[in-house]
């Protein structure tokens, strides 16, 4: 896949921010000011002020003498930094790889994205049009390298009335030739030195011996030149990490109906699951993000108890939650991500056996649907743990595929339901080590008609210190059975009684 990059330049980013927040400033010449060494300097000026000869870096007093009606405002650089990051996150609707380019630009890795919009022209026009609609002046360029895209956005558009330019694939070197040295993103002193030598365009020095260029202008100059030419790799760091398993579906017309959302989801699932199937992986967590026309993002998340790339099952899990998506004026982009995937190998079918037990995928699909409707905390699976103390003798499994590290202890009778922690009860017992005659639990008296015990369970001294427990299995007059224990010796006078579980 050929690499394509987009550089977005917002030449009036600071002043546009103030104009968006205060629309009455649109036709008013104003500047942003900041104190420096006892003077008030201009840090940014809008178009109206520029047309009157005001420039960034001027002293505010000189600018006011030149334009008395000039309106100064306090600069707030922290707002601009946050705005640039928010704009980069918003641009994820055009490509998953978006980076900020301080102080007033963005960089997009558009490789493989433009065809979803119908070509480079429509792709770049959509980007520029949407940013303009938000009140920000923008210039953008697309090229094979970051360097050429950056230079064309800032210097290649100065002689035209357009706010976008596309360098055809393979012609980035030709486009670079007519640009000034500043387009290489080099230090101001280096570009000034080049101008003094009469080297005002890249084509005037690009064929000079590299040893001479390095000696005069340094290694960083050559590195920037090689990046622009595409001879040295240049990476951009996205504001949001890119998920490996992600599929995107832009919409020619905004989607506002539930049927449209379902069709988009179906297409995304089919494409993503095919990739996962080829890589022998399955989804454990998936996220559907819906980018609305108004800039907001709606999203729903699903989880599975077993890795799955079965489209029909995953669609049902999403279907439970699709009603929570509010399309408002319409959704213009759908993104389906699988941030958590696990190995998913095809299972060998066993002849003559219809039941696979917990390995049956229908069980995990049923559990997924139940948890999708009732919540992730409604269905649990427990595995035995290597402890004798009742509360520690089992653990919560991470999923249906996790295998037990030990065997369940079946030689001792244990209740199906355990209270965590055990609850205090009042007990009447006739003599030491004799089963209780009755107990009071939640203000209700239970008369015991049958009992078995005691079973003594000592503390695991290597983990904690404390008293032992004497457990009894008891049945009351209504036929309900309970697991009770006395903590400590009967003759210690400090013993206490607890209810710890319920038998079926």
Q: 10, 167, 17, 34: which is closest to 100 by C-alpha?
A: 10
**Straight-line distance from the first to the last Cα atom of the chain, in angstroms, rounded to the nearest whole number:** 63
CATH topology of domain 172-229: DNA polymerase; domain 1 (1.10.150)
* 352 pLDDT tier (thresholds 50, 70, 90): very low
pLDDT digits (tens, 9 = 90+) for 402-445: 778 788 877 888 898 888 889 999 998 877 668 889 999 999 99
Query: For domain 5-166, which architecture applies?
Result: 3-Layer(aba) Sandwich (3.40)
Q: Is the dihedral of CA 492, 496, 501, 504 positive or negative?
A: positive
Q: Is the dihedral of CA 72, 78, 79, 80 positive or negative?
A: positive
* 275 pLDDT tier (thresholds 50, 70, 90): very high
At residue 119, the pLDDT reads 92
Residues 100-128: what's their mean pLDDT?
Answer: 92
At residue 241, the pLDDT reads 84
CATH code for the part of the protein at 246-343: 3.30.1490.100
d(CA 450, CA 439): 13
At residue 349, the pLDDT reads 47
Regarding pTM above 0.75, the answer is: no
The answer to whether the peptide bond before residue 103 is cis (omega within 30 degrees of 0) is yes
d(CA 226, CA 222): 6
Alpha carbon 47 to its chain centroid, in Å, reads 37
d(CA 184, CA 348): 59
d(CA 29, CA 40): 17
Residues of the chain with CATH 3.40.1170.60: 5-166
Q: Is the dihedral of CA 158, 163, 164, 165 positive or negative?
A: negative
Residues of the chain with CATH 3.30.1490.100: 246-343
């Amino acid at each position: 896949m050929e690499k394509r990059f987009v550089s977005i330049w917002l030449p009036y980013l600071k002043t546009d921010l103030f104009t968006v927040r205060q629309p009455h400033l649109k036709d008013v010449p104003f500047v942003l000011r900041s104190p420096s060494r006892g003077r008030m300097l201009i840090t940014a000026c809008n178009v109206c002020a520029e047309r009157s000869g005001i420039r960034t870096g001027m002293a505010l007093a000189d600018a006011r003498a030149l334009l008395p009606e000039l309106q100064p405002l306090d600069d707030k650089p922290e707002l601009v930094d946050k705005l640039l990051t928010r704009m980069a996150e918003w641009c994820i609707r055009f490509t998953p790889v978006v980076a900020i380019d301080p102080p007033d630009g963005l960089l997009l890795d558009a490789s493989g994205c433009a065809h979803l919009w119908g070509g480079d022209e429509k792709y770049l026009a959509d980007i520029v049009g949407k940013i303009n609609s938000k009140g920000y002046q923008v210039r953008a360029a697309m090229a094979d390298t970051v360097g050429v895209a950056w230079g064309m956005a800032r210097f290649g558009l100065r002689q035209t009335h357009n706010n976008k330019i596309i360098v055809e694939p393979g012609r980035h070197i030709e486009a670079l030739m007519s640009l000034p040295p500043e387009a290489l993103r080099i230090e101001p002193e280096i570009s000034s030195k080049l101008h003094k030598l009469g080297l005002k365009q890249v084509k005037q020095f690009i064929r000079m011996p590299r040893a001479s260029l390095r000696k005069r202008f340094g290694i960083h100059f050559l590195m920037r030149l090689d990046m622009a030419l595409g001879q040295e790799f240049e990476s951009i760091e996205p504001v949001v990490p890119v998920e490996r398993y992600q599929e995107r579906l832009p919409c020619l017309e905004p989607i506002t109906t539930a049927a449209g959302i379902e069709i988009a989801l179906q297409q995304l699932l089919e494409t993503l699951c095919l990739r996962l199937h080829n890589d022998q992986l399955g989804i454990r967590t998936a996220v559907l993000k819906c980018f609305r026309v108004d800039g907001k993002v709606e999203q729903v998340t699903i989880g599975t108890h077993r890795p799955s790339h079965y489209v029909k099952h995953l669609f049902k899990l999403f279907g439970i939650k699709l009603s929570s998506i509010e399309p408002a004026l319409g959704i213009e982009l759908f993104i389906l991500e699988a941030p958590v995937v696990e190995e998913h190998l095809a299972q060998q079918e066993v002849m003559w056996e219809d039941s696979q037990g917990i390995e049956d995928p229908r069980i995990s699909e049923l559990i997924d649907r139940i948890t999708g409707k009732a919540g992730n905390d409604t269905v649990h699976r427990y595995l035995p743990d290597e402890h004798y103390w009742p509360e520690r003798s089992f653990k919560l499994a991470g999923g249906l595929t996790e295998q037990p590290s030990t065997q369940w202890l079946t030689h001792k009778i244990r209740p199906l339901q355990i209270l965590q922690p055990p609850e205090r009860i009042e007990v009447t017992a006739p003599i030491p080590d004799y089963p209780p005659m009755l107990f009071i639990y939640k203000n209700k008296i239970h008369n015991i008609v049958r009992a078995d015990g005691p079973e003594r369970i000592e503390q695991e001294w290597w983990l904690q210190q404390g008293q032992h427990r004497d457990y009894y299995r008891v049945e009351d007059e209504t036929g309900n059975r309970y697991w009770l224990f006395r903590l400590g010796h009967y003759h210690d006078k400090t013993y206490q009684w607890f209810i710890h579980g319920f038998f079926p």
